[in-house]
Amino acid sequence: MSSSATAATHASTLRRGLVVSGQDAAIDRICAWFDRWRCGTPPQAWWPEVLSRADYVCGTVRLRGPHRPSWCYGTPGIARAHQIAGLALGDRTRQHHAERILGWCATDQAQLAQLGDVSLCHGWAGLVHSVWRAGQHNDHLAATVSHLLVCLARCLARRPPAQHGLLTGTAGATLAQRAARTNAPPITQWDACLLLNE
């Protein structure tokens, strides 16, 4: 489990009233680690997909700009985890920074141009679903969903996935489309495995 997934898990359980000793401190520690490696200044900030050993040793990310805005290793999944952490801890500053970063990510053409497929894992569907979930707490993010849905639909029509599964196939893209179009949380809570719900 990645660090952002760990933060999202702790924060989501805290929001549900499932509390253990040290939980708040653990969320703060994980978020502080991500703050250390965040590049840029909100709202024009991003997280690297990976940290190389050289990056870690010298304490500096050598990438010049953000990679694709994917749920799995990119800014959308991390920003959503930080938003949930901010909501769980009552940390409005963290919540608002996360929302502003995600908003920039979802509207920056240089980042969007790097999305190569429709998948939930690393494509348009993952970005759509991350922004849609986060948009339930932020009107600006909610307003960007319609444009992202158009982009997802175009990519789906042009290059439908060869697979049918959830993470990299048609099922995941279709589920993300449906949730955002209907603006209704999935009854099955299928996105719990992505740690995007709360």
Kindly indicate the confidence band of residue 1, based on its pLDDT and cuts at 50, 70 and 90: very low
Q: What whole-number distance in Å separates Cα of residue 124 and Cα of residue 70?
A: 8
Terminus-to-terminus CA distance in the chain, angstroms? 17
SS3 state at 40: strand
Amino acid (1-letter code) at residue 106? A
Using CA atoms, how far apart are residues 77 and 79, in angstroms rounded to an integer? 6
> Residues 36-74: pLDDT tens digits?
999 999 999 999 988 999 999 999 999 889 999 999 989
The predicted model gives 70-96 an average pLDDT of 96
pLDDT for 170-189, tens place per residue? 999 999 999 999 999 999 99
Are the CB atoms for 180 and 129 separated by under 8 Å?
A: yes
Q: How far is CA 176 from CA 70, 173, 179, 191, in A?
A: 14, 5, 5, 9
